[in-house]
Amino acid sequence: MKLHSLLAIYLAIGSIAVQAADIAPSLDEMDTAVKGEWWNKKHTGNRAWLEMVKVPRDQVVGFALYTVDRNTVKMTAQMYPLYPHEERVARLELEIDDQWQEVARAPIYEHGWSAHFRIDGWDESKRVPYRVRHGEDAQFAGTIRANDRSKNEIVIGSLSCNSNRDRGDRNSIVANLLKQDPDMLFFAGDQTYDHTEHTSGWLLWGKQFKEIIKDRSVVTIPDDHDIGQGNLWGEGGVQAKIRAGNDGGYFYPADYVRMVERCQTWHLPDPYDATPIAQGIGVYYTSYNVGGVDFAIIEDRKFKTGPNGEIPDMGPRPDHINEPTYKRSAVDVPGLKLLGDRQLAFLHQFSQDWTDADMKCVLSATNFAGAVHLHGSFENRLLADLDSNGWPQTGRRKALTEIRRGMAFHLAGDQHLSVMTKHGIEDWRDGPVTFVSPAIVNNYYGRWWWPEGGEAGANLIEDSPLPWTGDFEDGLGNKITMVAYANPDPEANRQGERDPEEDWADGYGLARFFKDKQEVVFECWPRFSDVSKGDSEQFPGWPRTFRMADNDGREAVAYLPEIRFRGISNPVVQVIEESSGEILHTTRVKGTRYRPKVYANGTYTVRVGKNQPILKSVSGIQSVEEESKDRLTISIR
């Protein structure tokens, strides 16, 4: 029997045993395959993993992850478990002037087996080979890429949901990505589904993807399964009393959560505000500039309120609604949190700071809508899933409003079902664009976009081959426009050995940012596709192209006079409605002319700058009709 089949059996048995009672295991009872006398045949740890973690000693450096931002390199080296006599130090070497030079040493944490390096004062224009070493012979080698802001096209690979029901390789995805050569990879969560054995699952993830992650920056963010829960409502870090976590908080020990976040997120740029939450759990929300595209990395789940006890039960469990007569507004209880005040403040600041940025994008675990009808099986229709970022609705509107202020796109995962949605905040299509990547492997929990009655929405996407596009409301009343979706075959949730010819709608996404035109082309590739054959290999409905301005889809009521800039080109421009004090948007303008649209007649303030709108402010600008020939010149000296 194959190793991955044995693993599935052992871990399924372990999962059943763990679910016997809502009593969290101690830290000593978790991550057992890499703790204690893991090398001993009598070891009582998870037997399914023990053969995988026993590697030759010249292979104990499993993989490495890095980012390059603000002249700093941060790198995490992930080790296999070490014998007691082996040193707990990893070394980082760089190839400089054709010579390998040791530049840093780092202690290896025995809890999680990771080591961490930081190099400040880095020249981002340089491409430098690296290798992480341990002992005499073990090493993992790759290249620290230049963070080249002169490139026009910045390519991002977007992946999530690496199901543990397939323990095999990911060679087809890796081979395609090597051909497409993305500048950065984004893994949106659920890198491992092994709950109480994170380190072993994380090592397997690195083994599956090491050939693509070694030579480019990688953003990994843990989602619910990574920290051991089927769903997570972090509620500011409190202790959950229920294994399902729907009472809010983290069920497993805080030290375990901190270990997972250290392994997966230490290498990200420094947090925007590093203040820990309850139980001393850290945060990692931050921004990351890749080649002139500024990414906000946010934590969907960490501050979100748990539904249990907050709203009446209206389904088989507190987060699932199946009651046809329920009132959507009734579940939007005042005081509920989604991203939380801290992250909303971060997004507000992020939208205004365009330092070295031509475009913006938000990275998070999941979509800001319930863009799914069928869950888990083709027979299971849900009206609403509170695990999505469509709930609470007020929190969703606040988050999307901040994202819209910076005209940012949004990449996410989590749903297993790949979709492209245009969000509505006050009205359909007035909000930003989201691309949810398909699951890497989709035999864990299938989902489908399958409107009841089989009818398309209003204003369907005319150039799409898909039948159910257009304007809809999700089960929580959120306005969404379905642009594209990649449904599995209705029978594709079968368990068992995978037939590569079956349509399970798994794969990955790609986002190509073109800075000169401020456009993004979104691509969606099946797992076993061949990218060398071109776009015909993509899921039907892709590729899709959007302009940055599409992320603010509000209809113009009026305009400001055409603004001509002197002494500055490609300025950052901010428009503020004076009657309310609201920042409508802040954006990078290409060229020296700009005509802002506004959404009410009145007076406005325009602020201008190079990287932030701080060099010049002009107030009392009166809105005009679209046909007006009025002009305004703003000079920057």
Of the candidates 596, 54, 25, 69, which has an alpha carbon nearest to the alpha carbon of residue 356? Answer: 69
Residue 433 lies in a domain: yes
| pLDDT at position 62 over 80 | yes
Residue 433 CB-half CA count within 13 A: 22
The 10s digit of each residue's pLDDT in 190-208 is: 999 999 999 999 999 999 9
End-to-end CA distance of the chain: 73
Same domain, 542 and 569: no
| pLDDT at position 17 over 60 | no
Amino acid at position 573, single letter: V
pLDDT band of 14, cuts 50, 70, 90: very low
Same domain, 547 and 568: no
pLDDT band of 499, cuts 50, 70, 90: low
| pLDDT at position 5 over 60 | no
What H or E segment, with its residue span, contains residue 157?
strand 153-162
End of a domain among 551, 575, 604?
551
Secondary structure (3-state) at 49: helix
Residue with structure tokens 């809508």?
Answer: 369
**pLDDT on residue 234:** 97
Residue 441 lies in a domain: yes
| pLDDT at position 139 over 80 | yes
**pLDDT on residue 193:** 94
Same domain, 395 and 475: yes
- 3-state DSSP of 478-545: CEEEEEEEECCCCCCCCCCCCCCCCCCCCEEEEEEEECCCCEEEEEEEECCCCHHHCHHHCCCCCCEE
The 10s digit of each residue's pLDDT in 106-125 is: 999 999 999 999 999 999 99
| pLDDT at position 515 over 90 | yes
Same domain, 165 and 109: no
- CA 363, CA 156: separation in Å to the nearest integer? 11
| pLDDT at position 44 over 50 | yes
Please compute the mean of the pLDDT values over residues 606-627 and round it to a whole number.
97
- CA 520, CA 188: separation in Å to the nearest integer? 19
Which residues span the domain enclosing 123?
57-144
Secondary structure (3-state) at 455: coil
| pLDDT at position 446 over 90 | no
- 3-state DSSP of 361-412: EEECCCCCCCCCCEEECCCCECCEECCCCCCCHHHHHHHHHHHHHCCCEEEE
Residue with structure tokens 């979509």?
Answer: 367
| pLDDT at position 183 over 70 | yes
Instruction: Show the CA angle centred on residue 74, arms to residues 72 and 77, nearest 5°.
Output: 160
Q: Which of 308-312, 323-327, 360-364 has the highest mean pLDDT?
A: 360-364
Secondary structure (3-state) at 51: helix
What is the length of the chain?
A: 637
What H or E segment, with its residue span, contains residue 606?
strand 603-609
Write the DSSP symbol of residue 624: B
Same domain, 442 and 530: yes
Percent of the chain, pLDDT > 90? 86
**pLDDT on residue 324:** 87
Same domain, 125 and 221: no
- Torsion of the alpha carbons at 459, 460, 463 and 468, rounded to the nearest 10: 180
- CA 457, CA 589: separation in Å to the nearest integer? 34
Q: Residue 246 — φ and ψ, nearest 5°? A: -75, -5
End of a domain among 110, 144, 178?
144
Q: b vs e for 221-241, b when ≥16 Cβ sit within 10 Å of the residue's Cβ?
A: bbbbbbbbbbbbbbbbbbbbe
| pLDDT at position 12 over 50 | no
Max CA pair span of the chain = 84
Q: In whole numbers, what is the pLDDT of the chain averaged over residues?
A: 93
The pair of three-digit structure tokens given for residue 29, joined into one six-digit string: 């009872």
**pLDDT on residue 495:** 53
pLDDT band of 16, cuts 50, 70, 90: very low
Same domain, 492 and 625: no
Of the candidates 165, 141, 306, which has an alpha carbon nearest to the alpha carbon of residue 231? Answer: 306
Taking a C-beta distance cutoff of 8 angstroms, is the pair 458, 471 a contact? yes
Q: For the beta carbon of residue 526, count every other beta carbon within 10 angstroms.
A: 22
pLDDT band of 129, cuts 50, 70, 90: very high
**pLDDT on residue 501:** 63
| pLDDT at position 607 over 80 | yes
pLDDT band of 498, cuts 50, 70, 90: low
Total domains present in the chain = 3
Q: Which residues pair with 635 in a beta bridge?
A: 566
Output 214 or 41, whichever has higher pLDDT: 214
Same domain, 497 and 528: yes
| pLDDT at position 74 over 90 | yes
Which residues, at least 6 apart from 522, have a Cβ–Cβ distance to it below 8 Å?
420, 435, 509, 510, 511, 512, 542, 543, 544, 545, 546
Same domain, 126 and 229: no
Percent of the chain, pLDDT > 70? 95
**pLDDT on residue 105:** 98
Please compute the mean of the pLDDT values over residues 23-43 and round it to a whole number.
91
Taking a C-beta distance cutoff of 8 angstroms, is the pair 265, 377 a contact? no
Residue 13 lies in a domain: no
Write the DSSP symbol of residue 352: H
Identify the CATH number of the domain in which residue 591 sits: 2.60.40
**pLDDT on residue 558:** 97
Same domain, 135 and 234: no
| pLDDT at position 580 over 60 | yes
Model-level pTM?
0.95
- CA 4, CA 200: separation in Å to the nearest integer? 13
Residue 140 lies in a domain: yes
Residue 307 lies in a domain: yes
Which residues, at least 6 apart from 523, have a Cβ–Cβ distance to it below 8 Å?
509, 510, 511, 512, 535, 538, 542, 543
Residue 21 lies in a domain: no
Secondary structure (3-state) at 18: helix
**pLDDT on residue 20:** 41
Of the candidates 106, 99, 108, 100, which has an alpha carbon nearest to the alpha carbon of residue 73? Answer: 106
| pLDDT at position 131 over 60 | yes
Residue 492 lies in a domain: yes
The 10s digit of each residue's pLDDT in 310-321 is: 988 888 899 999
Residue 26 lies in a domain: no
Same domain, 388 and 259: yes
Same domain, 161 and 179: yes
Instruction: Please give the sequence-ordered ranges of beta strands (E in DSSP) within 304-352, or none if there are none.
Output: 320-321
List % helix, strand, coil for the chain (3-state, nearest 5). 20, 30, 50
The 10s digit of each residue's pLDDT in 393-437 is: 999 999 999 999 999 999 999 999 999 999 999 999 999 999 999
- Going by their DSSP bridges, the two strands 128-134 and 138-144 should be labelled as antiparallel
End of a domain among 551, 570, 585?
551
Helices (H), 254-380: 254-265, 340-352
**pLDDT on residue 490:** 78
